[in-house]
A = this chain, B = another copy of it.
Amino acid sequence: MYNFKNDYAEGAHPRILERLATSNFEQALGYGDDHYTQAAKQLLRERMGNPEAAIYFVSGGTQANLLVISHLLRPYEAVISCRTGHIYANETGAIEATGHRIIPVEGIDGKVSPASVEEVMEAHKLRPHVVKPRMLYLSNATELGTIYTKSELSDLAQICKKFDLLLFMDGARLGHALSAAGNDLSLADVAANVDIFYIGGTKNGALLGEAIVFPSDELAADFDYTLKQKGALLAKGRILGIQFLTLFEDHLYFDLAAKANKMAAQIAETIAQQGFHFLTAPYTNQLFPILPKQLIKELLNNYAFYVWKEVDQDHQAVRIITSWATDERQVDQFCSDFKQLASTIR
């Protein structure tokens, strides 16, 4: 039974484990004041061409989201998100638990449109009887595997400026987005267009870890207090620093994402060749093919993946995810099995 359910089924890239081992008995300062963490931050600043960026390493995506949002919003301020956005769909009210409403909007293939932001602003004019929208949250890659183009991001940045909204990009799968076929964004472009974002490690080669980036350090003032208060400041901060140092000291981070995308593309191509469609077009390491229920049932005998959504009486969309650690032979096998099953079930 091979697992295509998520991109965190395995451990970490072996170079990370090696680095943890070789540095293991060095004594380091706690709470991220160690030299590995400092070096990793410096490296990331260089990679995004922004020497002033304030950077913080934390354990996971939900944690990153609640830290950033609770730090930047005042109590009556709200954040706009796609209905499919992770903070709205999958985080158990983590944002509301810090006191803030999420204003859900319908996305297009998981992406926010400027028009939907306009509508939210129009609908929130009856001050003070409504929350004050103050942030736009988006994910890149999205929870539906799609990506934002440079032009789309720039349009959103512009509308955020118009309405004095902070723009926050959840980059749990930023590597996959920036390594996708149709992508025209660089890390520097992201840093130049958003107010805050994070670079996901957990889903791309790290044991755990996300790098929160404030391109301008003004917004980051006192963020150290927030980290500690929410239980996000690891005593052995070096663990996170070492991982990002390893991922970014050469091109490893993007190589791993490209590998994940390539595995997904191979599967997507096979599925498309058999005449099936997708809920959203495949770009990154998440695929949402629409398949006959009988075919799904057969596939589930040998492969694990999520049934995502009822499409019609006979079809469901499923979610198939690959990762940096996906076994190429298993992908070959899946494709071969798929072709065979598809030829008999329609």
Do A93 and B229 touch (CB < 8 A)? yes
Who on chain B is nearest to A18 by CB?
B21
Q: Specify the main secondary structure of chain A where it touches its partner.
A: loop
**A9 in contact with B24 given A62-B231, A62-B233 (CB within 8 Å):** no
**A92 in contact with B11 given A17-B24, A208-B236, A231-B62 (CB within 8 Å):** no
Contacts of A37 in B (CB 8 A): none
Do A222 and B11 touch (CB < 8 A)? no
Q: Please provide the chain A residues from 1 to 20 with a CB less than 8 Å away from any CB of chain B in the complex.
A: 2-3, 5-6, 8-12, 14, 17, 20
Contacts of A97 in B (CB 8 A): 75-76, 99, 229-230
A337 vs chain B, min Cβ distance (A): 18
A19 vs chain B, min Cβ distance (A): 10
Which of A105-113, A129-137, A152-160 participates in binding chain B?
A: A129-137
Who on chain B is nearest to A70 by CB?
B75
A30 vs chain B, min Cβ distance (A): 5
Do B96 and A100 touch (CB < 8 A)? yes
A268, CB-defined interface residue at 8 Å = no
Would you give the 0/1 interface string for A210-231, flagging 1 where the beta carbon is closer than 8 Å to chain B? Answer: 0000000000001011111111
Do B11 and A24 touch (CB < 8 A)? yes
A116, CB-defined interface residue at 8 Å = no
List 26 contacting pairs A-B, 8 Å CB cutoff, sorted by A: A5-B30, A8-B236, A10-B25, A10-B28, A11-B24, A11-B26, A12-B20, A17-B21, A60-B235, A62-B228, A67-B231, A71-B75, A74-B222, A90-B130, A91-B129, A93-B99, A94-B228, A94-B229, A98-B99, A101-B102, A104-B104, A127-B225, A128-B233, A132-B222, A208-B235, A231-B232
Contacts of A252 in B (CB 8 A): none
Do A225 and B132 touch (CB < 8 A)? yes
Do B234 and A208 touch (CB < 8 A)? yes
A63, CB-defined interface residue at 8 Å = yes
A27, CB-defined interface residue at 8 Å = yes
**A14 in contact with B24 given A60-B231, A97-B230, A231-B63 (CB within 8 Å):** yes
A224 in complex: contacting residue of B127, B131, B207, B228, CB < 8 Å = B127
Who on chain B is nearest to A202 by CB?
B235
Q: What 4 A-B pairs come out closest when comparing CB atoms? A: A63-B231, A11-B24, A76-B225, A128-B224
Who on chain B is nearest to A8 by CB?
B235
A322, CB-defined interface residue at 8 Å = no
A23, CB-defined interface residue at 8 Å = yes
Contacts of A78 in B (CB 8 A): 93, 96
Contacts of A67 in B (CB 8 A): 231
- Given contact pairs A11-B239, A76-B225, A92-B228, enumerate 12 new A-B contacts (beta carbons under 8 Å): A3-B27, A20-B207, A21-B21, A59-B231, A74-B222, A76-B97, A78-B93, A89-B130, A98-B99, A127-B224, A129-B228, A231-B232
A32 vs chain B, min Cβ distance (A): 10
A203, CB-defined interface residue at 8 Å = yes
Complex Cα gap A316–B24 (Å): 33
A66, CB-defined interface residue at 8 Å = yes
Who on chain B is nearest to A130 by CB?
B92
A293, CB-defined interface residue at 8 Å = no
